[in-house]
Amino acid sequence: MLHLLFTTVPTPGPAEDFDPNVVTPGVWGFVITFGIVVVVVLLIVDMVRRTRRVNYRAAINEQLDAEEAAAAEKD
């Protein structure tokens, strides 16, 4: 049964009618890919900035809480 499957599959012919301009993405493909890369890089930079901001705020809040606890112990 497998022998029939492999014998009926046609093999590709010669590539005489191959036109590389038809199968390449061209200028528009490059422009769109470049735009997607720029957007992704900007999103990553923004995400890193927001993550750092959250970490800094958490550290400051911990420091303020520690100072308030120390001030409460003195009183």
Angle subtended at Cα 51 by Cα 48 and Cα 62, rounded to the nearest 5 degrees = 150
6 domain residue, yes or no: no
Which position has the higher pLDDT, 33 or 21? 33
68 domain residue, yes or no: yes
Which position has the higher pLDDT, 13 or 52? 52
pTM over 0.75: no
Q: Which domain holds residue 48?
A: 42-75
Taking CA atoms, 25 is separated from 30, 35, 36, 40, in Å, by 7, 14, 15, 21
Which position has the higher pLDDT, 66 or 21? 66
> Average of pLDDT values for 16-34?
82
Distance CA 22, CA 27 (A): 12
Rounded to the nearest angstrom, the gap between the alpha carbon of residue 6 and the centroid of all alpha carbons in its chain is 40
Number of compact structural domains in the chain: 1
What is the tens place of the pLDDT at every residue in 45-70?
999 999 999 999 999 999 999 999 99
15 domain residue, yes or no: no
Residue 34: which pLDDT band, with cuts at 50, 70 and 90? very high
> Average of pLDDT values for 14-25?
70
